[in-house]
Amino acid sequence: MSKKQRIRPEFGERVHLEDYDPGYTGEYESKGDAKDALKHNLERIDVLQEVLYAEHKHALLIVFQAMDAGGKDSTIRHVMEGANPQGVQVASFKVPTQEELDHDFLWRIHKHVPGRGMIGIFNRSHYEDVLVVRVDELVPEDVWQARYEHINAFERLLADSGVTILKFFLHISKDEQKERFQDRLDKPDKHWKFSHGDLAVREKWDAYMAAYEDALTRCHTPWAPWHIVPANKKWYRNLVVSGAIVEALEGLDMRYPAPEPDLDKVVIPD
Ligand code: AMP
Ligand code: MG
């Protein structure tokens, strides 16, 4: 078995992704091994989400970033499997519209931040503005360089306002991406997930890894920590993500709101 690998980097430490094995599965050897632990996490999420919603005090923001075919959609589907849809909102961030580009880069993000009682999920996020935007040189370097601080300040504002933030980088290997792309090409019902542009992005793999390392280093804060999720094995990925969500929700020490008085004396008329 490989040596124990961190999921959360140390604060202040420079992240080198080659130190993080995307195929790592911790103490588990197979999907079957991890089945009970995953089931437990998903059940806990369902219960805790209900209290979050009822208490109406905290919000949870979950950010997913990954290379194409990294498993963002599938993780969201699995981890929120039993959650009450009324309490969950998902925002997917695509190429910005002209109106969005006419504003600061956080404008379109801020409106999707979950309110009290809600779980908000970002499928891609403001991090695209220091990833694709940096790699493709969509803005000058001084503009994207300033964004790491903007992001930290923005996330601090959210945290100070009662939003718990969890950020997940689903880390797959370049070989694993190739296999998943091939699968998308081989199966007609997966064709919709493939675009020729995905190969152009794949060609820039190393530039993306460098950009990810910077984001994972410079925006890893106690109020909005990153998790580097070994994501070659989908079952381990789901286990890690669900485990971190359970831990964060349990840390909130939530309670159901106090009931109205004298419920024990209520008689329901026929
Ligand atoms: P998908 O998630 O596969 O539907 O693709 C969404 C696309 O939008 C990806 O290619 C992202 O890189 C791109 N995208 C998301 N946010 C931005 C942004 N701020 N600037 C440029 N491209 C973006
Ligand atoms: Mg895509």
- Contact between 170 and 237 (Cβ < 8 Å): yes
The fraction of the chain above a pLDDT of 70, given in percent, is: 99
Q: Report the C-alpha gap between 71 and 59 in whole angstroms.
A: 24
pTM above 0.95, yes or no: yes
Protein residue with its CA nearest to atom 3 in ligand 1: 68
Q: What does the angle CA 63 – CA 194 – CA 138 come to, to the nearest 5 degrees?
A: 60
CA proximity to 105, closest of 154, 59, 67: 154
Q: Report the C-alpha gap between 260 and 257 in whole angstroms.
A: 9
Any atom of ligand 1 within 6 Å of the Cβ of 94:
yes
Tens-place pLDDT, residues 156-169: 999 999 999 999 99
Sequence-distant (≥ 6) Cβ neighbours of residue 170 within 8 angstroms: 64, 65, 66, 70, 71, 72, 75, 229, 231, 237
Q: Report the C-alpha gap between 178 and 84 in whole angstroms.
A: 35
CA of residue 84 to ligand 1 center, whole Å: 28
CA of residue 145 to ligand 1 center, whole Å: 19
pLDDT (0 to 100) of residue 247: 98
Q: HEC string of the chain?
A: CCCCCCCCCCCCCCCCHHHCCCCCCCCCCCHHHHHHHHHHHHHHHHHHHHHHHHHCCCEEEEEEEECCCCCHHHHHHHHCCCCCHHHEEEEECCCCCHHHHCCCCCHHHHCCCCCCCCEEEEECCHHHHHCHHHHCCCCCHHHHHHHHHHHHHHHHHHHHCCEEEEEEEEECCHHHHHHHHHHHHHCHHHHHHCCCHHHHHHHCHHHHHHHHHHHHHHCCECCECEEEEECCCHHHHHHHHHHHHHHHHHCCCCCCCCCCCCHHHCCCCC
pLDDT (0 to 100) of residue 3: 76
pLDDT (0 to 100) of residue 2: 57
What phi, psi does 169 have (nearest 5°)? -100, 115
Protein residue with its CA nearest to atom 9 in ligand 1: 94
Sequence-distant (≥ 6) Cβ neighbours of residue 177 within 8 angstroms: 67, 68, 69, 70, 202
pLDDT (0 to 100) of residue 87: 97
Specify the ligand 1 atom closest to the Cα of 197: 10
Return the domain boundaries, the chain.
Answer: 30-173+200-252
Positions of the chain with pLDDT lower than 50, given as ranges: 1
Any atom of ligand 1 within 6 Å of the Cβ of 176:
no
Any atom of ligand 1 within 6 Å of the Cβ of 214:
no
**Which ligand is the nearest neighbour of the Cα of 105?**
1
Q: In residues, how long is the chain?
A: 270
Any atom of ligand 1 within 6 Å of the Cβ of 148:
no
Any atom of ligand 1 within 6 Å of the Cβ of 124:
yes
Specify the ligand 1 atom closest to the Cα of 123: 2
- Contact between 148 and 156 (Cβ < 8 Å): no
pLDDT (0 to 100) of residue 1: 46
Second-level CATH architecture of 30-173+200-252: 3-Layer(aba) Sandwich (3.40)
Tell me the best of 65, 72, 90, 94 to mutate to test the pocket of ligand 1, counting ligand atoms within 8 Å of each CB and taking the most: 94
CA of residue 103 to ligand 1 center, whole Å: 17
